[in-house]
Structure formats: structure tokens, C-alpha cells
Amino acid sequence: MLSKKTRQILLGPLSRNNPVIVQILGICSALAVTAKLEPAIVMAISVTAVLAFANVIISLIRNTIPSSIRIIVQLVVAAALVIVVDQVLKAYAYDVSKQLSVFVGLIITNCILMGRLEAFALGNGPWDSFLDGVGNGIGYGLILIIVAFFRELLGSGTLLGYQVIPQIFYDWGYENNGLMILPPMALITVACIIWVHRSRNKELQEK
């Protein structure tokens, strides 16, 4: 269905070219919204949507944007999409939107967004740009969800709000790890993912 090149555009960001754990972009939102799984999933979807459509729009008008003001144009497009996403969340997922608070608005400053617009959409066609946006969004979301999985499981004993660790463990003296709720542990979890990822992909290791 997809040629080898387009497949690379779509699937590359999932592992070898992952925006979070290889390019180390978008770390701040990875720390901020991953205390629970649900906001992390919503955040992942939001970023993927904004990224994909911003990429398409910029790609469509890439030949008409004067190069000297391209950053401003990119920001306007991204900001418009972010506002749409924010309003949709407020309308249909108010609780999650409240949990995510400013971080939906801050998608606009997500380095992945500007990075893809600048590095990919400005030089490629709309279809490729769309796939690139989706791929990077999923690559970002994947890490967010892995981090949030461990943080919610170990920090709150729940997944998506449902109690996962049985009550009998608590009766035996088990306690939730309060540090997992705090941002430092998100950083350490991301570091662990990078550790595992690098040891499986030797060509990514720095000399």
C-alpha cells in the first residue's frame, strides 16, 4: 500500500527517529501530563491531530510563504489548530481538559511541532507531511503512554482510574510510591526508556 519511503516517514518516528527519546524534544509536556494515563492519551491524540493538520496546511502553502516570516505563519497555523483542539476538549472531555490545564495551550510551544513544520512540511508534499505528522505524533504519544502507564501504576495503583493493584497488597503493607507522582520520576522513567532503547539499537549510541 505504501512505498518504502512513505513507510519510513510514517514508521521511522516510532522508534529509530523518535521525537522524544532520540531527538529529546517535547520533554516538558512528557513530564507534566504523564502522572495519569488518561490525560496522557488525550494529550497524545491532541498533539497528533495538531501535528498532522498543521503539517498538511503548511505543506500546502509552503511555496507562497515568504521565507522571512515563515515562523510567524507556522505559529498562526499551529495556534489556530491548538485553539480548535482546546475548544473540542472543553466541549466533549471537560474533566480531562481541566487536568491538562495549560498544557493543551502549550502544544503550540511543543518543540516537536515547530521542528516538524520547519524541517519537514516546508520541503515536502501534503500527503508525506500528513504521514510525517501522524508518525511523529504517535511516536510522541507512545512514549507519553509508556511513561504514564508506569507512573499511574506505581504512583496511584490504578490504570485509567481503575484500581489495578488488589486491596490485599495494601493490607499486607504495600504503599503507592508518592515519588512517581512527582515530575522527577517522569524524567527518570524517560531516561530508563532511552536506556533500554539505546541498548537495543546500537547504532544510536554516542561514541
Partner 1 sequence: MKTLRNYIDKIKPNFMPGGKLAMFRSVFEGFETFLFVPATTSRSGVHIHDNIDSKRTMTIVILALMPALLFGMYNVGYQHYLAVGQLSTVGFWTIFFFGFLAVLPKIIVSYLVGLGIEFTVAQWRGHEIQEGFLVSGMLIPMIVPVDTPLWMIAVATAFAVIFAKEVFGGTGMNIFNVALVTRAFLFFAYPSKMSGDDVFVRTTDTFGLGAGRVVDTFSGATPLGQVATHTGDDMVLTNIVGQPLSLLDYAVGLIPGSIGETSLIAILIGAVILLWTGMASWRVMLSVFAGGLAMAWVANTFASPTYAGSLLSPLTHICLGGFAFAAVFMATDPVTGARTKIGQYIYGFLIGVIAILIRIYNTGYPEGAMLAVLLMNVFAPLIDYFVVEANIKRRLKRAVKA
Q: Where do contacts with partner 1 occur on this chain (CB under 8 A)? A: 173-175, 177-180, 182, 188
User: From the CB of 155, what's the least distance to partner 1, in Å?
Assistant: 9
3-state helix, strand, coil in the chain (%, to 5): 75, 0, 25
User: From the CB of 206, what's the least distance to partner 1, in Å?
Assistant: 15
Cell numbers 512513505 correspond to: 6
By C-beta, is 166 or 178 nearer to partner 1?
A: 178
By C-beta, is 127 or 169 nearer to partner 1?
A: 169
> φ and ψ at 177, to 5 degrees?
-85, 105
**Of 147, 181, 106, 129, whose CA–CA distance to 20 is shortest?**
147
Count Cβ atoms within 10 A of the Cβ of residue 140 and give its class: 0-12 exposed, 13-18 middle, 19 or more buried. Answer: buried
DSSP H or E segment with residue 159? strand 158-159
By C-beta, is 161 or 178 nearer to partner 1?
A: 178
Cell numbers 481541566 correspond to: 98
User: From the CB of 103, what's the least distance to partner 1, in Å?
Assistant: 23
By C-beta, is 2 or 196 nearer to partner 1?
A: 196
Listed in sequence order, the residues at least 6 apart from 176 whose beta carbon sits closer than 8 Å to its beta carbon are 154, 155, 156, 157
Distance CA 92, CA 94 (A): 6
Type of residue found at 56? V
By C-beta, is 49 or 180 nearer to partner 1?
A: 180
User: From the CB of 159, what's the least distance to partner 1, in Å?
Assistant: 19
User: From the CB of 21, what's the least distance to partner 1, in Å?
Assistant: 16
Q: How far is CA 194 from the centre of its chain?
A: 15
User: From the CB of 157, what's the least distance to partner 1, in Å?
Assistant: 13
By C-beta, is 93 or 182 nearer to partner 1?
A: 182
